[in-house]
Amino acid sequence: MRSLPSMEKILTDDRLGEFGGIIDRDSLKRMCRDALERWRDMILDREVLSFDDDVFFAELRQELKRRLRPSLRPVLNCTGVVVHTNLGRSCLSAEAAEAARAAACGYSTLEYNLESGARGHRNFHVEWLLCQLTGAEAALVVNNNAGAVLLVLAALAGKKEAVVSRGELVEIGGSFRIPDIMSFAGTRLVEVGCTNRTHLKDYENAISEETAMLLKVHPSNFRITGYVSLPLREDLAELAHAKGLMMVEDLGSGILVDARTLGLEGEPTVNECLEAGVDVVTFSGDKLLGGPQIGAIVGKKQIIDRIRKYPLLRALRCDKMTLAAMEATLRIYLRGDWKKIPSLGMIAASEDELKARAAALKKRIDSELADFCLQTKVVPVEDAVGGGAYPERPLPGWAVSLLPANENLNAGVLQERLRRCTLPVVAGARSNELLLHMRTLPAEDENALISSLEEALETKR
């Protein structure tokens, strides 16, 4: 124990000199104290028998480098999953990113009306655009779709009942469960039908004096196939209105363009839901809409105004950067330039385009990384929309397959090495080949990918 260095000796050691300009002395002192405590504990527990100065400073330097490196870092997505929840879902367009930057770097009209010189409302910046693009009478936004569902239930069905099909009592993401959200909102759940089949009569029989709404929930990341039946939303809306109730739909991933233009089918647009008679629709901004994380609530003005007055709204409101990015994204739709939204452009990319890009990338890898003797192929793959949308309908794509020639370097090891690069790469794999899916790799990032590949291969060699 007496061989442990003093704090002053540690702080003045030349081996920590490079950290002097990037961490203040007090913070450095706390980290050094933690390192000393670990060594004291190891000595007392007889995990080590003596103090090793070189090992101590090597570990301390490694910990300092890890702690001082940003945790939220850019990565290259080579998985083929477009709306990748773990990698940040949708990528913003350049316009949306610039709008968020401008809002972050200065003052803005977040809650200020320039015409009257009085306080304004932050929801104003996106409401008109959402109404124009969806056909809704009114709209408001909160910080995400889970918040939107919670707010709608609490404001419209608190201490009342909501009728939901058993086949739509879903759990998605980080334990977001419809029954739990309803309970938290103070809404009593009334389950109807069976897992695979629910009929209109089931809803009708469940309606009582305590019923506030019929609730339809998007299945998101799963599908039930085979002997399946659900009422049309038009029929549910008609039943709700005939009984003096509201029809609410959690659409999950809000799409504003005809899915067929993206080569997809079966996903209703927000417009179609409202046209079918749904009173209130909630959806995410960062999935198939391709904007920032946001929860949109659109529908009939009289009902939206009730939600607008509910106190919980303030706790769920969006910040200025999110609103700026959302407004810029919606204005792209307003111009009809939706292909400029990165996520939609990726989904709409053709097989021929992806195959040609894969062939060109293979050629570059063969030429620029020839010293590593990689076996490369252009191979067909299955990509995915992601974000809980179209789980059973893969997107046909193309990838570059890498098969390391070194017997000590397999696809799993190369995957790990790529994740540890200066610019990390998250890639797919099958058998013993690494797969670089082209759909989610922007062409302008291919140079960076080559650099990361070289770094990963050099490290292993």
- Residue 336: phi and psi, rounded to 5, are 80, 15
**pLDDT of 269 strictly over 80:** yes
**pLDDT of 454 strictly over 90:** yes
**pLDDT of 175 strictly over 70:** no
The CA R_g of the chain, rounded to the nearest whole Å, is 27
How sure is the predictor about 382, in pLDDT bands with cuts at 50, 70 and 90? Answer: very high
Q: CATH assignment of 76-85+346-458, given 3.90.1150.180, 3.40.50.2000, 3.30.1280.10, 3.60.130.10? A: 3.90.1150.180
285-289, 303-307, 444-448: least confidently modelled range: 285-289
240-263 pLDDT, tens digit per residue, is 999 999 999 999 888 898 888 888
Averaged pLDDT, 175-189: 89
Mean pLDDT over all residues of the chain?
91
The Cα 96–Cα 291 span in angstroms is 8
Of residues 167 and 278, the one with the higher pLDDT is: 278
Residue 120 · residue 109 · CB < 8 Å: yes
Q: CB atoms < 10 A from the CB of 257, how many?
A: 20
**In angstroms, what CA-CA distances link 247 with 137, 215, 398, 434, 447?**
15, 6, 42, 48, 51
pLDDT-above-70 percentage for the chain = 97
How sure is the predictor about 381, in pLDDT bands with cuts at 50, 70 and 90? Answer: very high
* pLDDT computed for residue 392 by the predictor: 66
- Residue 112: phi and psi, rounded to 5, are -140, 130
Q: Quick one: which H or E segment has residue 139?
A: strand 138-142
* pLDDT computed for residue 461 by the predictor: 46
**CATH for 94-340?**
3.40.640.10
Q: Where are the alpha helices (DSSP H) in 278-401?
A: 301-308, 312-315, 320-335, 342-348, 351-368
* pLDDT computed for residue 189 by the predictor: 95
398: closest CA among 376, 379, 377, 375? 379
Identity of residue 324: A
Identity of residue 4: L
* pLDDT computed for residue 260 by the predictor: 85
pTM of the model: 0.89
| Gap between the terminal Cα atoms of the chain | 40
β-partners of residue 283 are 252, 296
The Cα 192–Cα 211 span in angstroms is 13
**pLDDT of 460 strictly over 60:** no
How sure is the predictor about 78, in pLDDT bands with cuts at 50, 70 and 90? Answer: very high
Structure tokens at 363: 């050629």
Task: Decide: helix, strand or coil at residue 385.
Answer: strand
Residue 247 · residue 276 · CB < 8 Å: no
3-state helix, strand, coil in the chain (%, to 5): 45, 20, 35
Question: Which residue spans within 11-66 are E strands per DSSP?
Answer: none
Residues of each domain in the chain carrying CATH 3.90.1150.180: 76-85+346-458
Residues of each domain in the chain carrying CATH 3.40.640.10: 94-340
Averaged pLDDT, 94-111: 96
Averaged pLDDT, 198-203: 94
The Cα 41–Cα 4 span in angstroms is 12
**pLDDT of 224 strictly over 80:** no
**pLDDT of 368 strictly over 70:** yes
Q: Give 76-88 as a DSSP string.
A: EEESSEEEBGGGT
The Cα 278–Cα 158 span in angstroms is 19
